[in-house]
Structure 1
Amino acid sequence: MARKGLRMCMIVCSIFLIVVVTIILAISLTILKPKDPDISVHPYGLENFQIIQPNVTAVPLGMVITIVNPNYGTFNYKNTTGYLSYHDINVAKAVVVSGSVPARGLFNITTVAGIMTQKLMDDTQFWSDIEVGTLNFEATITLPGKVTMLKIFKKKALVHVACDLSFKLNLSSIHTDSSCISKIKL
């Protein structure tokens, strides 16, 4: 009789363990699976923005980088530098100060990129792009940091971001469009 009770207890414990392992595995493969953040870049202060200014080596371009974190972990990133390229030529860099993107939240980063006007004007396609009225840039940044889940689990992570920025130049204003692709690597 005691063996029958012990056997029944082992079967129940085994079934319980299988159910718990299955639930943990399902949660880790679905809910806790890292998702790429949604990132967008919004230049600001364009009402007074002039790329061509005499005797000016760098024109400041203010940017707000918006990060939407769809994950259940907080991302703490370190100081880093982003780059702005025009036809594969690095024309600006922007310092991004360390911060924390909350789990399932939104975070804005404000920075300024100093566009080196001489590098722009030295590019053979710059003047034809000005005539057309569109300047296309690529912004890239890599954010190194750590992901913290439930304030217990910590894992190193890198977020690579590449954005296409398009400046449409009119006589009275400048309009921008941006599209970004981001990838998280744990």
Structure 2
Amino acid sequence: MARKGLRICMVVCCVLIIVVTIILVTISLTILKPKDPDVSIHPFGLDNFQIIQPNATTVPLGLVITIVNPNYGRFKYRNCTGYLSYHGAMIAEAKLVTGIVPARSTFNITTIAGIMNQKLMDDTQFWSDAEAGTFNFKTKIALPGKVIMLKIFKKKATVQVACDLSFKLKLTSIIVHSSCISKIKL
């Protein structure tokens, strides 16, 4: 009689382990599967922004990087540097300090990019772009860090961001348009 009870207990335990394993695998492949964040870049402080300053080596450009994290895990990134290029030449760096992007939320990073105005003005297309009133820049940022789920699971990840940033100069204002593509690599 005791052996029959032991067999029933073992069968029930095995079935339970199989069911729990199937549920955990299903959850990890659907809900916990990492999704690419939605990233956008918005310049600020453009009211007094002057790209041509003959005596200055760098011109500060304020940037707000908005990250929308659709994942169920938070992302803790380390110090890194973003780069701003103009027609393929790197003209500015922006330092990003360590931070945590909470799960399923929006997070803003504020930074200053120091545009090397002499390097910008030395570009052969600068003056034709200035006449047209349109400047097109590209940005690249790699945020290395860890994805943390349920305060238990930690996995190294890097978020790669590439953006096109366009400035249209009007008589009374500057119109900015940004378009970003981001990928998370585990």
In the alignment, the residues of structure 1 paired with residue 53 and residue 173 of structure 2 have an alpha-carbon distance, to the nearest angstrom, of: 17
Partner amino acid, structure 2, of 1:172? T
The alpha carbon displacement at 1:101 in A equals 0.7
The alignment's C-alpha RMSD in Å is 1.4
In the alignment, the residues of structure 2 paired with residue 12 and residue 81 of structure 1 have an alpha-carbon distance, to the nearest angstrom, of: 55
Which residue in 1 is equivalent to 2:50? 50
The alpha carbon displacement at 1:7 in A equals 4.1
1:61 equivalent to 2:61? Answer yes
Partner amino acid, structure 2, of 1:74? R
Equivalent positions of 1:17-166 (< 5 A) are 17-166=17-166
Structure 1 length as normaliser, TM-score?
0.94
Identity %: 73
The alpha carbon displacement at 1:124 in A equals 1.0
Unmatched 5+ stretches in structure 1? none
Matched residue pairs, number?
A: 186
In the alignment, the residues of structure 2 paired with residue 36 and residue 124 of structure 1 have an alpha-carbon distance, to the nearest angstrom, of: 36
In the alignment, the residues of structure 2 paired with residue 178 and residue 162 of structure 1 have an alpha-carbon distance, to the nearest angstrom, of: 10
In the alignment, the residues of structure 1 paired with residue 175 and residue 77 of structure 2 have an alpha-carbon distance, to the nearest angstrom, of: 30
Structure 2 length as normaliser, TM-score?
0.94
In the alignment, the residues of structure 2 paired with residue 27 and residue 161 of structure 1 have an alpha-carbon distance, to the nearest angstrom, of: 27
CA deviations over 1:83-125 (Å, ceiling 9, x no partner)? 0000110000011111111111111110000111111111111
Point out the more displaced range, 15-24 or 87-96.
15-24
Unmatched 5+ stretches in structure 2? none
1:12 equivalent to 2:12? Answer yes
In the alignment, the residues of structure 2 paired with residue 112 and residue 134 of structure 1 have an alpha-carbon distance, to the nearest angstrom, of: 21
